[in-house]
Amino acid sequence: MCILSLRQVSGAMLEIARKFRFLGTPVRCEAHGSGLINKTYHVVCDSGAEYILQKVNTDVFKDPVSLMRNIDLVTRHLRQRVKSEREVLSPVPASDGKIYVDDEAHGFWRAYHFITGSFSLDSAASAGDFYQGALAFGRFIDLLADFPADTLAETIPGFHDTVSRYRAFKEAVALDVCGRVKKAQREIYFALSQEPFASVFMDLLAKGELPLRVTHNDTKLNNVLFDRETRTALCIVDLDTVMPGLVMNDFGDAIRFGASTAAEDEADLSRVHLDLELFAAFARGFIKACGKSITREEIELLPAGAKLMALECGVRFLTDYLSGDTYFRINYPDHNLVRCRTQFKLVADMEKKMPQMNRIVAEVAREGV
């Protein structure tokens, strides 16, 4: 983890930090979290006040002003419905009153009040942790069920349009800009063999058979803050992709990340499986917390959502690998290929376990929770 010294804080970072209405002067600034897109820092001021300071990746989020407007609207809505301010992100205004700083030299920045006494998990230590994450993501759907979805901007068009993700993948194969196609033959073949499944939700959407809801769209477990004392879920973070979407995708993305027996970039594939106990815990928490904001038809499709999100994520990692790693942050040259392999291993494992996944979800739905 990179900890900037006082001298470094007083450089570019201090110039940015000074533009926000922070209480005091920053004296410490540490890189924070494990996100692959934005850059996140934990800032401590001489007053003791703590903040999250983030540089938004504007190559990925092309209209960050609309994105911040979404976050403003959604957090205001949530704030009216939660009991404590620790349950919702609070943007810190800049000196001009806007909730961001768009700086010509240093980029697009925002800040949040740091939710003290909280932590996040890159993997669940127990089924209980994952159940807590499920309650938080399900509750997020439920609390936003009456939010006017059409007022939200689509921050990344076609984000979970798996069909267009496949189009981009096939273009990357055809272009082969880095000459990497030969190194990824097996993965390309696997992706193509799964293509018929990729349109499962887009087809139902086109027929008007699925409702669009306000969803989170990036439901990795590390986007849940837990309370240090009670180890219960407090707050959902990383709201950049909150926009109209499908509830099965929120479920599925959480499963492909959090119910895997290994990290997203585990190189030893023999360690990568879907953990059915974690799957069941998440299904129980999520369905319970969604309450009336999920239909029977959507519940039935949750296992398909898990397989689809693992497939889509694998295809996105593969596309980025073939395109020269321009999207996801990498730590070594084959990182995206390694990530793609874990996702495809999960797809294959979920295919085998689909009867059990369906049975678990049906039982949860039948018995109530």
- b/e map 73-103, b = 16+ CB within 10 Å: bbbebbeeeeeeebbbbebbebeeeebbbbe
Interface with Mg ion (CB under 5 A), residue from 16, 17, 35, 242? 35
Q: Judge contact between 322 and 173, C-beta under 8 A.
A: yes
HEC secondary structure over 80-117: CCCCCHHHCCCECCECCCCCCEEECCCEEEEEEECCCC
241 counts as binding ligand GN1 under rule CB under 6 A: yes
CA distance 186 to 269: 14
In the set 13, 16, 32, 67, which binds ligand ADP (CB under 6 A)? 32
**Contact string (CB under 5 A) for Mg ion, positions 224-243, x = contact:** --------------x-----
Q: In which residue are the tokens 């097996």 written?
A: 186
Distance separating alpha carbons of residues 122 and 289, to the nearest angstrom: 22
Q: Given its phi and psi angles, is residue 368 left (phi above 0), alpha (psi -120 to 50 degrees) or beta?
A: left
Scanning 131-139, 186-194, 221-229, 329-337 for contacts with ligand ADP by CB under 6 A, the matching segment is 221-229
The residue whose two tokens read 């904001």 is 293
Residues 57-86 that bind ligand GN1 (CB under 6 A): 60
| Beta carbons within 10 angstroms of residue 247's beta carbon | 26
Span of 33-41, 64-72, 181-189, 330-338 interacting with ligand GN1 by CB under 6 A: 33-41
Interaction residues for ligand ADP, span 95-114 (CB under 6 A): 112, 114
Q: Establish if 123 lies at the interface with ligand ADP (CB under 6 A).
A: no
For the chain, first and last CA: distance in Å?
40
Q: How far is the CB of 237 from Mg ion (least distance, A)?
A: 6
Cα–Cα distance, 187 to 311 (Å, whole number): 11
Q: How far is CA 313 from the centre of its chain?
A: 11
The correct pick among 70, 120, 217, 241 for binding ligand ADP (CB under 6 A) is: 120
Per CB under 6 A, does 354 bind ligand GN1?
no
**With respect to ligand ADP, which residue has the nearer C-beta, 264 or 349?**
264
What's the min distance (Å) between Cβ of 49 and ligand GN1? 25
| Residue 118 contact partner, candidates ligand GN1, Mg ion, ligand ADP, none, CB within 5 to 8 A by sort of partner | ligand ADP
Given a contact cutoff of 8 angstroms between Cβ atoms, the answer to whether 256 and 310 are in contact is yes
Q: Which of 55, 220, 341, 353 binds ligand GN1 (CB under 6 A)?
A: 220
Cβ 122 to ligand GN1 shortest distance, Å: 10
CB of 6 to ligand ADP, least distance (A): 22
Residues that bind ligand ADP (CB under 6 A): 32-33, 35, 37-38, 40, 52, 89, 112, 114-115, 118, 120, 222-223, 225, 237-238
